[in-house]
Amino acid sequence: MIQPNLLDYSKGSLNRSESQKIKAHTERCERCAVLLAQEVSFDRTLACLPEEMPANDVWALVRVRTKPRRFRPLAALEIMVNTRMRRVVATTATMAAVIGAFFIVNWPTYQPPVLLTTPQVVAVSDEPLAQHTDAVFDVIEKM
Amino acid sequence: MERAGDYDFSTSNEGLLELCKRQDQEALRVLFRRHERPVYSLLYRMLSNHEDAEESLAEVFVKVWRAAGSFKGEAKFTTWLYRIASNTARDKLRSRQIRQEVFIDDSIVDEVGLGERIASPGMDPEKCVLIADERARVMRAMQDLSEEDRLLVTLYHFQECDYEEISQVTGVSPANLKVRLFRARQRLRKLCADDEKEGGINEMRVDTAESSGLQQRVAESL
């Protein structure tokens, strides 16, 4: 790989063995020697070009677009999403969504489960009441 | 929250970004002032239009503000910033293609103003014109390069990034980077040479047309 390294060679940024290899090659290969001169010349041309500068103050535009809002109820959520908590938040949100969806779908037909054991019927004796009735009749007869 | 002026330009980029996460706009302002020139330069070389470059510059720093929380510190801040800038420039180029805008090249329109932009007090006016001419030629040639080639040349020659940084910004493997950069540079050099030839031919045509016009006027007067 001689040609892609020619510019680095001219800048002295190659290691010694690579540098020697290219030096030896350019001494015997006229084509690469010409290419080396072209690379150096073109690199100088590009380096001489001035740095570009914005004509207007763009900061004013950035400032308006990034103006912090005083009341930001979702700010905490945004921060959480941008941190390591996002997996936990995502999992919890998914679980809540699934559970919520289950209840919404089943709500109209939802009934509490029926108990398998039948409730015990307590037999109520009418005996005390009968005794009471007889006593009342006795009192009436004596009158 | 810290007030404006509580920290200065000696604060590290990472420290300022940390403050941006906490909605500190002053920190963003310091970051902006520190990096606006190199980022603008990259955008202009990619887009060849000052208006688009300024609009994209604002977009880049709005993205920095919004994505401050996603900066992990695995790469250098400038690498991260250049990646955002190059993606913004690519998006702009794509949106231009979709809208099929009538694109007016600044290097053609603004050639008169180039000398004024470049000129500095005490600089030889002839040299100013030569530099402006060279700059316009390179900018025209840059437009004929592919997006990838343009980005590689810009990062290496204008932004002075090292190979590792360029590899991280562009996603080109370090093994292929030198070869691709060499080829991109060769294409650019050829385009510049072609442009110079065409310019020379056009000048000759103008000279010939002017002289033939003069000859015609002389013939008419006789």
CATH label of the domain that carries residue B77: 1.10.1740.10
Say if B54 falls within a structural domain: yes
Please name the residue ranges forming H helices in chain A.
Answer: 6-11, 16-28, 30-48, 59-65, 75-81, 86-106, 127-142
Give ∠ CA B200-B131-A47 in degrees, rounded to 5: 115
The CA dihedral of A86, A88, A94, A95, to the nearest 10 degrees, is: -170
Share of chain A above pLDDT 90, in %: 41
Query: How far apart are the C-alpha atoms of B196 and B203, rounded to whole Å?
Result: 10
Q: Are B47 and B53 in contact (CB under 8 A)?
A: yes
Say if B136 falls within a structural domain: no
Query: Which structural domain, as residue segments, surrounds residue B69?
Result: 1-104
Indicate the pLDDT class of residue A120, thresholds 50, 70 and 90.
Answer: low
Name every chain A residue with its beta carbon within 8 A of the beta carbon of B23: 68, 75
- Asked whether residue B197 carries a pLDDT value surpassing 90, the answer given is no
The answer to whether A7 faces chain B, any CB pair under 8 Å, is yes
Say if B149 falls within a structural domain: no
| pLDDT reported for residue B105 | 55
The answer to whether B63 faces chain A, any CB pair under 8 Å, is no
- Asked whether residue A57 carries a pLDDT value surpassing 80, the answer given is yes
Classify A57 in phi/psi space as left (phi over 0), alpha (psi -120 to 50) or beta: beta
Mean pLDDT lowest for which of A116-125, B72-81, B94-103?
A116-125
Q: Is B2 exposed, middle or buried (0-12, 13-18, 19+ CB in 10 A)?
A: exposed
| pLDDT reported for residue B124 | 74
Indicate the pLDDT class of residue A104, thresholds 50, 70 and 90.
Answer: confident
The answer to whether B61 faces chain A, any CB pair under 8 Å, is yes
Say if B193 falls within a structural domain: no
Q: Whole-prediction pTM value? A: 0.67
| pLDDT reported for residue B146 | 93
Average pLDDT for chain B: 81
| pLDDT reported for residue A75 | 59
Q: How far is CA A77 from CA A73, A91, B24, B26, in A?
A: 8, 14, 18, 23
Indicate the pLDDT class of residue A9, thresholds 50, 70 and 90.
Answer: very high
CA nearest neighbour of B87 among B17, B157, B169: B169
Structure tokens at B100: 């099929």
The answer to whether A18 faces chain B, any CB pair under 8 Å, is no
Indicate the pLDDT class of residue B133, thresholds 50, 70 and 90.
Answer: confident
- Asked whether residue B217 carries a pLDDT value surpassing 50, the answer given is no
Query: How far apart are the C-alpha atoms of B173 and B215, rounded to whole Å?
Result: 62
- Residue A51: which of B37, B53, B192 has the nearest Cβ? B37
Query: How far apart are the C-alpha atoms of A97 and A91, rounded to whole Å?
Result: 10
Q: Say which residue the tokens 């003069």 belong to.
A: B214
| pLDDT reported for residue A68 | 75
Query: Which residues contact residue B65 at a Cβ distance below 8 angstroms, ignoring those fewer than 6 apart?
Result: A62, A66, B20, B28
Q: Say which residue the tokens 């809002």 belong to.
A: A69
Query: Packing angle between helix B25-47 and helix B13-21, nearest 10 degrees?
Result: 110
Query: How far apart are the C-alpha atoms of B192 and B171, rounded to whole Å?
Result: 27
Indicate the pLDDT class of residue A116, thresholds 50, 70 and 90.
Answer: low
Name every chain B residue with its beta carbon within 8 A of the beta carbon of A68: 23, 25
Q: Say which residue the tokens 């004013």 belong to.
A: A60
| pLDDT reported for residue B14 | 92
| pLDDT reported for residue B212 | 47
Give the model confidence (pLDDT) of B13-67 as tens digits. Answer: 999 999 999 889 999 999 999 999 999 999 999 998 899 999 999 999 999 999 9
Structure tokens at A112: 């509490």
Q: Which residue of B has its CA nearest to A2?
A: B179
Higher-scoring residue by pLDDT: B117, B23 = B23
- Asked whether residue B208 carries a pLDDT value surpassing 90, the answer given is no
Is B131 in Cβ contact with A49 (below 8 Å)? yes
Indicate the pLDDT class of residue A133, thresholds 50, 70 and 90.
Answer: confident
Name every chain B residue with its beta carbon within 8 A of the beta carbon of A61: 58
The verdict on ipTM greater than 0.90 is no
- Asked whether residue A22 carries a pLDDT value surpassing 70, the answer given is yes
Q: Are B43 and B89 in contact (CB under 8 A)?
A: yes
| pLDDT reported for residue B31 | 94
Name every chain A residue with its beta carbon within 8 A of the beta carbon of B27: none
Report the domain count for chain B.
1
Q: Are B84 and B62 in contact (CB under 8 A)?
A: no
| pLDDT reported for residue B2 | 41
Average pLDDT for chain A: 81
| pLDDT reported for residue B4 | 46
Query: How far apart are the C-alpha atoms of B82 and B139, rounded to whole Å?
Result: 20
